[in-house]
Structure 1
Amino acid sequence: MIKKKAKLLITLVLLLTLSLGMINTDIFADYQKFKIKDVEVTTSTDSISVTWGNLSDSYIITLDGQRYTKTNENSITINKLKPNHPYEVIVEAETKDQESILDKFVVQTLTTIKDSEEKQTEFDLENGQTTAIFSDTESKIIFENVPDDDLEYTVQRNNENIGKLNGKKNYIVERNLDSDTTYRYSVIGAVKLNKKEKEKAIKAIKQQKMNPSDFKLDEVEKEYELARTIKTLKSNQTNSAAAESWEDPSPGVEFIYTTFIPMGPFTFKPKGMESRTNYHTGLGDGRSFDPYVLSDDYRTRTRARVSFPPSGGSKVRFTKLAHRSIGLNKNTGKWEVSGPVDTSRIYLASKTEGSTMASFTLNHEAGSPFAKFQFGGKMWDGPEIDYRYRADVYKNGYFKVVGYHDRAPSHELSFTPIPGETHTVGQFYSTLQPLFQFGMGNNPNGLMNLVGPPLYPQKSISEQGYWK
């Protein structure tokens, strides 16, 4: 159960240590714009309250794309909302003649869950929550419920490290952002294996006739990454946000998950198994991250689309792709082609298609036909590429992805808003946005991470944002 109180302490200022210096988020010039650091948000099971600094004599309030009210106060409380539901609140400051807009900001948050309700617990970051507050040039992202042993988190912007965040300061503030631009912010926590997890790992290691002391289990950590994606407002937009409704007859979003081996030729020498496999060398995909999903070099790729037809309800569609494997047979010295990999265990484990929200769970277990080794007089399948995630997609534009993935090979998840049931290549690539990127690096021994838990715990992820 989440007890969510997102009220911010204005006196609390975040300092991020960067590789290029320091950003002091408490230094804000006097100018006629909202100061995002001064915006406070408080939520309950059925209400959202927002307060802001003085900028005008009148403010237009928009709730989920529909005009809600106009107020002369510097705060608004919206009642009679659904519990555990995403809402978007836009505050616009009017000029004195009330003919144009001085400035505006957006709040994207969730109401809290009822005491009597319980969330699903399949995924470790199920309770991770974010609140985003942003304008055309500034943002404040609030993170909650990310596990970490010492409450010191790595902070990333657009998948690049930008500093550290202490657990008592659970938000970051940035200014001087580019308008009409997508930014992904995330915090990464780490937790050491507990006693039961270590015992399970030791048992698995001994079953493979290996020495547990070679694996330094006291140093093994489980990682948790909670991320929020925003798109800053257009700086030259002065009309009311109430007119910015989605007009396409069948809007939706498509999630594209790609796994790939970054090396070209590589030597696979799993520890303790060097002499037990006929294929020490294989061909990878020879590529780096590709946020626009242009590359056709990959191990596997899944695409899951959610749309909301004008006739009502929602639809979930799913497709999967896999490439063949190529390995060098150590006995014959020849390259051999096999596959593609068995995709029977890549499937939608569940889906719901409601009128305002659709949800699906995607299960992925796929191994290379060449990744086999001999042990105990038998041939065993090699480790698989595993991931599993659930996506909740709302008609109002909010989405939440929560799941986990192996620490090898490289994983990448992107999404693109769909302006209809079909789209052209140009529309597809121009609107696609990258979410998380996990790279195994160029060390072929990193493929041993595919052994998965408990030796190399899978990484937990939660991605939140708006697809519209």
Structure 2
Amino acid sequence: MKFKSSFKYLLAICLTILLSPSITTFAENHEIEDSDFSDFEVIKNGANEVIVNWKGLPNAQKYIVKYGDKIIYEGAETQFKDNNLLEGSINEYEIAAIDDKDLILSNAHLKIYTKLSNGEEIGIDTFSTSSSIILDWPDVGNIDQYTVYRDNQFIGTTEESNFEDFDLSNDTKYQYTITTEVPLSSNEIKILNEQVQDFQSFLTEDEEELSNLVELSTPVKTLGENTKSTTLTEFIVTPQISALAGVSKTWVKINTMILNTSSYPGYIKSPLPNSKYYYGTDKRTTITSQGSTRSSLEATINWSTLAVSQTKSIGWTNRYTKNSNGTYTFVDRKQASANNVYLGATKKTSSMVDINFIHSAKNPYHSTAPAIKYEFRSQIYKDGTTKIRGYHSLFPSLGIFRSDGSGYKTIYTHNQGNRGAWELLGHKTIDITK
């Protein structure tokens, strides 16, 4: 008998792709304005390089591509390449088409994940323009179709591992949920069968005693559906490539990350006694506004309306075992809850917004583990001044960054050094004006 369970699949999960390099092309089947970016193609070479192509725009004299506050490409070609990236990291790019008067014709915002070093693809790449947003994820084998919801409302299905959503509003927050049904593996079916057989054996140990209690037609065990529910949050953004007259928006981002150190060169031993497991770091050595993180919490302030919105993400916790030759074998991964990661504005004026940032997220494998915590109260001024006071855990590393539209500048960083997970119990207070 073949079991199939309705499995709501997290599409950011790590999946093996046989082709290398991987190439994703988006063919447009919806009418697109000539002034918008379209026909994106992404090539992922190994774990450290991406190449992005797009369709040229009429009247565009050149294109500018920014990564954070750095311009990584400027020229007439409709392609850029970025290498020396971290494996399994998310990388954000802003692209602008410039006309002969040095004015911006159109722009786009891209979020692209690199592969892991073993060739596995992770994450949901996104491509945002003024007219659409494209979601692209690693293909899941042996499935019929994916179902896509926007803000919990059904918007369509697709047999491909990508989806394009149209008729969206600029600077508006959208939440997407992608689900599919995945057949259980042979090992999972075997385990379920064994559970049923064990339960049957238990019930029939004494048939005379149980014959009056259990009818033969009564199911001996009801197997519930193996379901997981998850959401993916993405945003339509309007990147600013060149300086604008005055500040219209401000972004404040707080990232936590586990750095590679001499004590933890890529992996951290579980602090639990007798545990055989290790956890992966974020495979980086510096504290920046971009790249892979444990968590990211960002406030967006619209100075014209004084509206404050939040963007948050939680990185994967990867679990490994250590081999006798010193290498590590990937076992599985989980994602911590983001329920206690949030922000809120408590005071607003035309020149200042007061925002509280709250963060408490635990290792998803250990419910009793201490959490990565911080609590900050901030005053964000339109003139560029940032005041932040509060406390944070001594582990892991942490960075606070601000952007007024022309790249992020660093407000504060804390380097974990060679501290370990037990330093989650220690805290540091800060009071900064910058």
Query: With structure 2 as the length reference, what TM-score do the two structures score?
Result: 0.49
Query: With structure 1 as the length reference, what TM-score do the two structures score?
Result: 0.46
